[in-house]
Chains A and B, each alone.
Chain A
Amino acid sequence: MTPLLPVRPDLDGATPHTLLVADTVEQGRRGTASWVERELAHGSKVYYKGWLHEGQRLDQHWITGPAGPRGARDALASGQLEFLDFLSLIERYGATSDGVLTLYRSEVERALEDMWPTVAMTQESPELPMAEAAQVAEYTTWETGFDGLTQRWPVRMLCQLTVPVENETAVWETVAVHHRDVVDGFWAASGCGDRWRPHGDLDAHVARRFGAAVNGALRAAREREDGPDLHLDLTAIDFMDVACAEILMLAARSAPDGQQMVLHGGHRFLRRLFDAVGRPPSVRESEDVS
């Protein structure tokens, strides 16, 4: 029997620009510490951006404490790891896409000039209000700019999203923007060519985040040259519950005229589930389905 439950998705196979979603601060720190440790071990220059609250010093930040990555203190001392707090960042560059990208680009260039073989960049959950469309647009622009950095240079980027500290809009938009590379507990998603591939267990606990990723994938498919259809690879889904099936079918139903969701692979049980919750005409099977 094929195991129903997945091995927990981790960051091993992550692409250069990954979103790490955490239900708790501690969970997020564990995942981030593991990623930073690995990057330090690989000899990357690591840039870390985080919050220092109310007079907090860097040696009081979690990253230098027992929960932080092994070797973080030494790396800070040697310059392999650099920390920049968000307030300083905003003060120097502003919370605009131009400012953020200018900073990141300059950091990458400096690291490569210093002969670091690879650059790893990570930032804590930014706690952006995203109350207005303009803020969302700025955020989307700089995240797209991050993609550009990872495509142009040997850069790996880990964006941290700590759900309890963000509002619903921020969670939704953050996951939607990162739909091509999300790691969120027992599920993950990746983009490969023209296909979008969710992995693992999709259940009520992550349904809203999964819905955000689906909508992000649909939105991105509309902007692609070979769009607008979203080609959904179901082969790596180990479990999907009614909530996520409904969200998926609802997203397909809400897609603009002319956009379809094309299903590739996956277990027949998923098809039964989609039929049970109501499969709209905008969902079709690919010709490669067995």
Chain B
Amino acid sequence: MTGPAPEGLVHLGLVYDGPDDLVRQAVPELRRRIAAGDAVSVTADRATVRRVREELGPAGERVEYPPPSTTVTPSEPAFLATVRGWAGSGRRTTVLGCCPASMSAAECGFGEDALNAVLGDLPLTLICCCRRDLDPGLLAVARRTHPLLATPIGTTDNPDYRAPATACPAPAALWGAVAGRVDLDGTGDLAELRRCVAAAAGRTGLEGDAVRAAVLAVHEAAVLAVRRRDPDGPGLVVEIRAEPGRSLFSEIVGPRAPLDDHLDGHHTDPLGRLRPFCTEALVLDDAEHRAVRVLSTM
């Protein structure tokens, strides 16, 4: 990629056959990012790091090479927080990492989808490398979740990328079967919403405090949406989806109202729109997509 530095997240996939192939495809992009002044780090096995350093030459001295054991993979719960930390240096950052073969395809897909959905504003280039001989499911996730590919001639669009539906840019991996829909005309409908969410959460496999947290999160998201809606306009609809054993997903859709000053003040912080309640639930208040969403994962 040439020209001015990108402003938001550049999420690149790189499918390779071995260390030499990885270096051949990755190094051109790494050189561009080093030249642009990015803070660059490469996390890979020792043989690959050695090949990258040799290929980069003197420019390689400006790259950090943290060992794989120190990083977090997309399948781990702390992935989003870790990625956010990578971009916290005050200048644009580029990180190259390799997908470990031991990752669960579903969990990797969750992490990668969530990254696209909620961290799109980060000043970060992330190059996710995936060996072609990995588990086919994991390879399919890598092809599906990266909008761009790193190649020897630069970044290209990824024809296999599957963005979530434009009307609902939630991570596709979180969608389950529709467990219920509730019309929300005012706060008087919140009790019915809570009943529906609790029932769906129970069917999903959540228990105890996890159910309470999910119910509270959806409820609070609904309160926010109701308070912002035009009282004379059409009502809101809450759709609750559940994937048994995996996730509860809730989206409140309706006419968009301007964000208040309090939320506008958080625009520089991509996570400012996230309101965590606990490890199981968070709220994403996303005015651009007309929705307030709650993701609750097992």
Interchain CB contact under 8 A, A239 and B215: yes
Interchain CB contact under 8 A, A4 and B198: yes
Decide: A204 near B190, CB < 8 A? Known: A1-B208, A241-B216, A241-B220. Answer: yes
Interchain CB contact under 8 A, B190 and A203: yes
- B207 in contact (CB, < 8 A): yes
Interchain CB contact under 8 A, B187 and A204: yes
7 example contacts (A-B, Cβ-Cβ < 8 A) are as follows A4-B211, A5-B198, A203-B223, A204-B187, A239-B215, A241-B219, A267-B212
Chain B 186-216 per-residue mask, 1 if CB under 8 angstroms from chain A, else 0: 1110110011001000100001110111011
The distance in angstroms between the C-alpha atoms of A269 and B208, with both chains bound, is 10
Contacts of A5 in B (CB 8 A): 191, 194-195, 198
Contacts of A267 in B (CB 8 A): 212
The distance in angstroms between the C-alpha atoms of A205 and B209, with both chains bound, is 23
Interchain CB contact under 8 A, B194 and A243: no
Residues of A whose CB lies within 8 Å of any CB of B are: 1, 3-5, 23, 185-186, 201, 203-205, 239, 241-243, 267-269, 272-273, 276
Decide: A201 near B191, CB < 8 A? Known: A1-B202, A4-B212, A4-B215. Answer: yes
Residue from B186, B188, B208, B211 with most neighbouring chain A CB atoms (10 Å) = B188
Interchain CB contact under 8 A, B212 and A203: no
The distance in angstroms between the C-alpha atoms of A126 and B187, with both chains bound, is 25
The distance in angstroms between the C-alpha atoms of A5 and B209, with both chains bound, is 14
The distance in angstroms between the C-alpha atoms of A206 and B269, with both chains bound, is 33
Interchain CB contact under 8 A, A239 and B194: yes
Name the CB-closest residue of A to B212.
A269
Interchain CB contact under 8 A, B208 and A205: no
Selected from B188, B212, B215, B220, the residue in CB contact (under 8 A) with A205 is B188
The distance in angstroms between the C-alpha atoms of A4 and B195, with both chains bound, is 8
Closest beta carbon of chain B to A239's beta carbon, Å = 6
Known: A4-B212, A201-B194. 10 other contacts (CB 8 A): A4-B195, A5-B195, A185-B191, A205-B191, A239-B215, A239-B216, A241-B216, A242-B220, A267-B212, A276-B277
Interchain CB contact under 8 A, B207 and A1: yes
The distance in angstroms between the C-alpha atoms of A204 and B186, with both chains bound, is 10
Q: Tally inter-chain residue pairs, CB-CB below 8 A.
A: 55
Interface bin, chain B: 20 to 34
Contacts of B277 in A (CB 8 A): 276
Selected from A205, A242, A269, the residue in CB contact (under 8 A) with B190 is A205
The distance in angstroms between the C-alpha atoms of A269 and B210, with both chains bound, is 10
Closest 8 CB pairs of A and B: A205-B187, A4-B198, A5-B195, A204-B223, A269-B212, A186-B191, A204-B187, A203-B190
The distance in angstroms between the C-alpha atoms of A289 and B162, with both chains bound, is 52
Closest beta carbon of chain B to A203's beta carbon, Å = 5
Selected from B187, B211, B278, the residue in CB contact (under 8 A) with A1 is B211
Closest beta carbon of chain B to A141's beta carbon, Å = 33
The distance in angstroms between the C-alpha atoms of A242 and B283, with both chains bound, is 14
Contacts of A241 in B (CB 8 A): 216, 219-220, 223
The distance in angstroms between the C-alpha atoms of A132 and B198, with both chains bound, is 45
Closest beta carbon of chain B to A27's beta carbon, Å = 10
Contacts of B223 in A (CB 8 A): 203-204, 241-243
Closest beta carbon of chain A to B146's beta carbon, Å = 36
Name the CB-closest residue of A to B202.
A1
Closest beta carbon of chain A to B291's beta carbon, Å = 19
Selected from B187, B198, B208, B213, the residue in CB contact (under 8 A) with A203 is B187
The distance in angstroms between the C-alpha atoms of A5 and B211, with both chains bound, is 12
Contacts of A273 in B (CB 8 A): 216
Closest beta carbon of chain A to B209's beta carbon, Å = 6
Name the CB-closest residue of A to B197.
A4
Closest beta carbon of chain A to B275's beta carbon, Å = 10
Contacts of B209 in A (CB 8 A): 268-269
Contacts of B202 in A (CB 8 A): 1
Contacts of A1 in B (CB 8 A): 202, 207-208, 211
Contacts of A239 in B (CB 8 A): 194, 215-216, 219
Closest beta carbon of chain A to B192's beta carbon, Å = 9
Name the CB-closest residue of A to B195.
A5
Name the CB-closest residue of B to A3.
B198
Name the CB-closest residue of B to A240.
B216
Contacts of A243 in B (CB 8 A): 223
Name the CB-closest residue of A to B220.
A242
Chain B 255-291 per-residue mask, 1 if CB under 8 angstroms from chain A, else 0: 0000000000000000000000110000000000000
Name the CB-closest residue of B to A273.
B216
